[in-house]
Amino acid sequence: MVDTRQAPPEPASAPRVQPMSGVDTAWLRMDNEVNLMMIVGVWLLTPAISLQALRDRLQRKLLQHERFGQRVVSDATGVHWQVDAHFDIRHHVVPVTLHALPGESPKRSLQRLCAELAVTPLDPQRPLWQFHLHQGYEGGSALIARVHHCIGDGIALMSVMMSITDGGASPPQRSQRGLGAEKLAHPQPSLMDGLDMARSGLRAVNDVAALAFMADDSPTLLKGRHAGDLSGRKVVAWSEPMSLADVKTLGKGLGCTVNDVLLACVAGAIGGHLRSRAQDPAGKEIRAMVPVNLRSPDEAWQLGNHFGLAPLLMPVGIQNPVERVFAVRRRMDEIKGSYQPLLAFGVLSATGLFAKPVQDVVLGLFANKTTAVMSNVPGPAVPLKFCGSTLRQALFWVPTSGHVGVGLSILSYGGGVQFGLITDHKLCPEPQDIVDRFEPEFEKLMCLSLMLPWPGQDF
């Protein structure tokens, strides 16, 4: 039996107080009255696991990642991580019960609970995370995790979640952590000749200008511009998994990536939703801020936020699925050759060092030109075990900042891929309508693609 009241273990030579990076400070301070910077995830487990087994596992495995045993403190010198000397796992791993409304399905009840937790602040006097365990969901357990974004980004938290599963690898010891921990995955100037440097410099200047003078995207029912446009009440939805192999096959046939295909389906689903609400999306494009990972996979255990943001205009007004996927491919190719993610990372790092009002003004300029935030996180290809049970389905929702009211998430896991959506109730009270259009959009794209002339065919 684990002593639930003991302070988290400290790695050898770990300081009790550590400065928080500028970019993590920026994410910490993005909380506002309508959006909290929490990543919310759900694991569906079969059969059920016990609360004590969950607490024992997290005490033993999760707390090997030092951030989960540290609380946030602020003083005149800045923001810091401090070991919580009064840590108690019972405050962070709690039982919860679904209360179904009349005629409500278990899935709908779970979605409502997730939405309520997404707007419930974490205790600022404790480490900024909490797990909620519901027993009896579809013959097993539903585990809801809430983690503040200042602890880590989606790639880092996926690494953490992998580490706590049965047989998951522990993070490297502090003595094994080399200087490579600080490098970012971007082109090194030493590898470029003079001409390439000139071209890169010109591209960087153009990308700075593109970010600074970014035009507003199309106004739609989903776009929030001011505080009054959002209610602060969230609604969540998710799709059932569909075959990742089918998505890969279709993408290969079209000469597109998996992301191109999935994002085209998302754009089609949103366009269909707008049409069903009597808003013609023809000629409209909405901007989604797409995270771009800036570190190598073997450094994900470090936690923190190491990603940039790239603005992607989604062609929600294009009805033809084939035309739409090629439009998405062109725009994704532009992002891949852009310095904008690195520039956005630099902006976040710098604003975290400013006073919060200055940060709010700077980041507000980007939020006002954006309709949605989108995240695509690759998970393990095979189903995992957790406390002896099978993790049959994994979900997550990305938080939104400023007055953005739509968060889109795509997660691959166990051979499937699924779509999650979190929206502000005032902008989109029924996000399930968008989610339910996702797979039909894929099927339409598949059907039309099969009718295209393929190389080697004789017509």
Q: 330 lies in a domain? A: yes
Say yes or no: 144 and 198 in one domain: no
The per-residue pLDDT for 204 is: 42
Number of domains in the chain: 2
Structure confidence by residue, pLDDT tens digits, 400-440: 988 899 999 999 999 999 999 999 999 999 999 999 999 99
The per-residue pLDDT for 106 is: 94
Burial of 428 (0-12, 13-18, 19+ CB in 10 A): buried
Q: 179 lies in a domain? A: no
Say yes or no: 107 and 208 in one domain: no
Q: Give pairs for 441-444: CB < 8 Å, separation 24+.
A: 441/264, 441/265, 441/268, 441/269, 441/272, 441/321, 442/242, 442/246, 442/247, 442/250, 442/261, 442/265, 444/268, 444/321
The per-residue pLDDT for 454 is: 58
Instruction: Classify strands 234-238 and 93-95 as parallel, antiparallel or unpaired.
Output: unpaired
Say yes or no: 137 and 236 in one domain: no
Residue type, 21: S
Q: Which residue has the higher pLDDT, 57 or 309?
A: 57
Say yes or no: 294 and 212 in one domain: yes
State the Cα–Cα distance between residues 335 and 376, nearest whole angstrom: 15
Q: Which residue has the higher pLDDT, 191 or 56?
A: 56
Domain range for 135 is 17-167
Say yes or no: 100 and 221 in one domain: no
Say yes or no: 133 and 226 in one domain: no
CATH number of the domain enclosing 106: 3.30.559.10
Say yes or no: 427 and 364 in one domain: yes
Q: 459 lies in a domain? A: no
Q: 407 lies in a domain? A: yes
pTM: 0.86
CATH number of the domain enclosing 250: 3.30.559.30
Say yes or no: 68 and 200 in one domain: no
In percent, the amount of the chain with pLDDT more than 70 equals 85
The per-residue pLDDT for 196 is: 46
Q: 178 lies in a domain? A: no
State the Cα–Cα distance between residues 307 and 299, nearest whole angstrom: 12
Say yes or no: 201 and 143 in one domain: no
